[in-house]
Amino acid sequence: MPPIKNPEVRGSPMPPEAETSSSAFLSVERRGAVALLHLARPEKRNALNDALITALGAFFAAPPEGVRVAIVAGHGAHFSAGLDLSDITEKDATAGMFHSRLWHRAFRQIAEGTLPVIAVLHGAVIGGGLELASACHVRVAERSAYYALPEGQRGIFVGGGGSVRLPRLIGLSRMTDMMLTGRVFSAEEGQTIGLSNYLVEDGAGLALALDLAAKVAANAPLTNFAVLHALPRIAEADREGGFLAETLMAGISVADQEAKARLHAFLEGRAAKIAP
Ligand code: 1HE
């Protein structure tokens, strides 16, 4: 694997199974086709500073060859306390806008990049931490997880894409409530309203995420591409444009050699059946 060029995320010439790369605030471990990323600032509750945001963006902009899925989790007792508030105390409006754009670029590398990304959430999933979680494609929450958007209490606004992604996830009304009243949702409530896709006992999140990652990695690459890149656009397109885009994607998918091999495998009794 070529070393990752960004100095915040260093590659390593070790064999894939043992391969790790890390920066001061982001640890990256390779487990076969899965890259396991940990926010690694537990002493600051994984508060997201510029270096950490840059390291995340750099990883997802150029994932190591052979990696097919990523997991994002947090070291310590919390997933993330959100924006590192000390980063913005001296910024003027222009610097604040560029700061938000830095987050947008990094999180778009996650949401619209080449890898399906599974987040493992525990403890505080606050502010920018929730924005990071919402940029991932699948969310596994442990029972300790809780969700808040205390921007109103800090006098600021979301800046990491939260106002675009969170209303689509939980509805505008719930996000408005969180931001106006400081409402905190528990893990159970988060599961009910759609913040998480899976809810597990404390300490069980990573095992489930690895299990899910193996399933994602076993899909045809073209299907994963379509789910990441075509599906969100079709879901937001006008009906007729959506139907047409779906037709085009469907046509391309059936022509894929991988699809042909998989279809024949099923028809010849060589593929697993779908069990309840
Ligand atoms: C921080 C941050 C932070 C902790 N920025 N330094 N986010 C918030 O408003 C959440 C603020 N944090 C908290 O409410 C609490 O820290 C926690 C509930 C997450 C954890 O509490 P606890 O008791 O385990 O830890 P602590 O003692 O509060 O924090 C440990 C250290 O981390 C301490 O620093 P220390 O030098 O005194 O040890 C804290 O100051 C530091 N710390 N959270 C900076 N967020 C793109 S826009 C996004 C906008 C937002 O994200 S707004 C939400 C910001």
Q: What is the mean pLDDT of the chain?
A: 93
One-letter amino acid of 130: L
**11 or 175: whose pLDDT is higher?**
175
Cα–Cα distance for residue pair 136/253, rounded to 1 Å:
24
Please state, for a pLDDT cut of 70, what percent of the chain lies above it.
Answer: 92
Mean pLDDT score, 118-132 = 98
Residue 18: strand, helix, or coil:
helix
* 124, two tokens: 């505080």
> Do 117 and 179 fall into the same domain?
yes
The range of the structural domain enclosing residue 261 comes to 221-267
Cα–Cα distance for residue pair 58/20, rounded to 1 Å:
15
Question: Which domain-ending residue is among 217, 242, 257?
Answer: 217
Cα–Cα distance for residue pair 122/42, rounded to 1 Å:
13
Give, using CA atoms, the residue closest to atom 19 of ligand 1. 81
Q: What's the 84 CA to ligand 1 centre distance in angstroms?
A: 7
Among candidates 126, 114, 225, 228, which has minimal Cα distance to 185? 126
pLDDT, position 36: 98
Residue 274 counted as domain residue: no
Cα–Cα distance for residue pair 33/21, rounded to 1 Å:
15
One-letter amino acid of 120: V
Where residue 64 sits, what CATH number does that domain have? 3.90.226.10
Cα–Cα distance for residue pair 30/217, rounded to 1 Å:
14
> Over 90: is that where the pLDDT of 10 sits?
no
Contacts of residue 169, Cβ cutoff 8 Å, sequence gap at least 6: 134, 194, 195
Tens of pLDDT, residue by residue over 130-167, are 999 999 999 999 999 999 999 999 999 999 999 999 99
> Do 229 and 242 fall into the same domain?
yes
One-letter amino acid of 242: G
Residue 272 counted as domain residue: no
> Over 80: is that where the pLDDT of 26 sits?
yes
pLDDT, position 20: 54
Q: 28 with 46: CB under 8 angstroms?
A: no
State the pLDDT confidence band at 15, using cuts at 50, 70 and 90.
Answer: very low
Where residue 239 sits, what CATH number does that domain have? 1.10.12.10
> Do 252 and 181 fall into the same domain?
no
Cα–Cα distance for residue pair 249/55, rounded to 1 Å:
33
pLDDT, position 166: 98
Question: Which domain-ending residue is among 193, 217, 241?
Answer: 217
pLDDT, position 270: 97
Tens of pLDDT, residue by residue over 170-199, are 999 999 999 999 999 999 999 999 999 999
pLDDT, position 208: 98
**Range in 10-19, 23-32, 147-156, 170-179 with the lowest mean pLDDT:** 10-19
Beta bridge partners of 148: 126
Among candidates 29, 55, 31, which has minimal Cα distance to 41? 55
> Over 60: is that where the pLDDT of 242 sits?
yes
Mean pLDDT score, 16-25 = 63
Tens of pLDDT, residue by residue over 73-93, are 999 999 999 999 999 999 999
Give, using CA atoms, the residue closest to atom 12 of ligand 1. 81
Looking at the whole model, is its pTM more than 0.75? Answer: yes
> Over 80: is that where the pLDDT of 262 sits?
yes
> Do 157 and 257 fall into the same domain?
no
Residue 231 counted as domain residue: yes
> Do 42 and 150 fall into the same domain?
yes
β 69-74/124-126 pair status = unpaired
> Do 119 and 225 fall into the same domain?
no
H or E element in which residue 169 lies: helix 162-170
Total count of domains within the chain: 2
> Do 235 and 130 fall into the same domain?
no
pLDDT, position 245: 98
Show the ligand 1 pocket: residues with CB < 6 angstroms: 44-45, 47, 78, 81-86, 103, 124, 126-128, 150-151, 154, 156, 158-160
Give, using CA atoms, the residue closest to atom 31 of ligand 1. 44
- Could you give the residue numbers annotated as active site? 131, 151
